[in-house]
């Protein structure tokens, strides 16, 4: 399942040239990922309540075209890979039909002590149901 999250670019997200700063995209990816989890019926708060966290262990982004203050962009998100301990999400950031950026994040399932753990079946099952290959 793919989810698209609309975001209106805020002034604070731009640099001195009026272009969205590259670091803002990381925040947008997180917001879209959280929304994706909400849409599949697995809110991140429910994951945390089980003593789990999905730590970002790798991120990659390719910037193709700039976004600017006041633009409305959409962050498209989907789960592209799931193993017993890791997840990978893919992203595309659009302004209308223009692709602004694309990338991925990889996550490791951890307990409250930061130790890598297997993703429990109650969490893994809804994730696998909505998994899309690239």
H or E segment to which residue 75 belongs: strand 72-82
Output the pTM of the full model.
0.95
> In the prediction, which pLDDT does 72 show?
98
> Which stretches in the chain have pLDDT values below 70?
134
> In the prediction, which pLDDT does 39 show?
97
Does residue 21 lie within any of the structural domains? Answer: yes
Write out the catalytic residue numbers.
15
> In the prediction, which pLDDT does 133 show?
73
Q: Which domain holds residue 54?
A: 3-129
Check which CATH number belongs to the domain holding 57 and give it: 3.10.129.10
Q: How many CB atoms lie within 10 A of CB 134?
A: 8
Tokens of 83: 């193993």
Q: What is the rounded (10 degree) CA torsion for 112, 117, 121, 123?
A: 50
Does residue 40 lie within any of the structural domains? Answer: yes
Does residue 134 lie within any of the structural domains? Answer: no
Note the pLDDT tens digit of each residue in 47-86: 999 999 999 999 999 999 999 999 999 999 999 999 999 9
Q: CB neighbours of 49 closer than 8 A, spacing ≥ 6?
A: none
Does residue 77 lie within any of the structural domains? Answer: yes
Q: How far is CA 111 from CA 14, 28, 37, 44, in A?
A: 35, 25, 19, 14
Count of domains forming the chain: 1
Does residue 51 lie within any of the structural domains? Answer: yes
């Amino acid at each position: 399942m793919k989810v698209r999250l609309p975001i209106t670019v805020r002034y604070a997200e731009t640099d001195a040239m009026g272009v969205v700063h590259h670091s803002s995209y990381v925040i947008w990816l997180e917001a879209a990922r959280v929304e994706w989890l909400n849409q599949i019926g697995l809110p991140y708060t429910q994951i945390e309540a089980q003593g789990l966290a999905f730590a970002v262990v790798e991120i990659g982004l390719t910037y193709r075209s700039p976004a600017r203050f006041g633009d409305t962009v959409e962050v498209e998100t989907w789960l592209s890979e799931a193993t017993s301990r890791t997840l990978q999400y893919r992203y595309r950031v659009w302004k209308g039909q223009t692709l602004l950026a694309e990338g991925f994040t990889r996550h490791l399932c951890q307990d409250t002590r930061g130790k890598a753990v297997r993703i429990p079946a109650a969490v893994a099952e809804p994730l696998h149901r909505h998994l899309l290959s690239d």
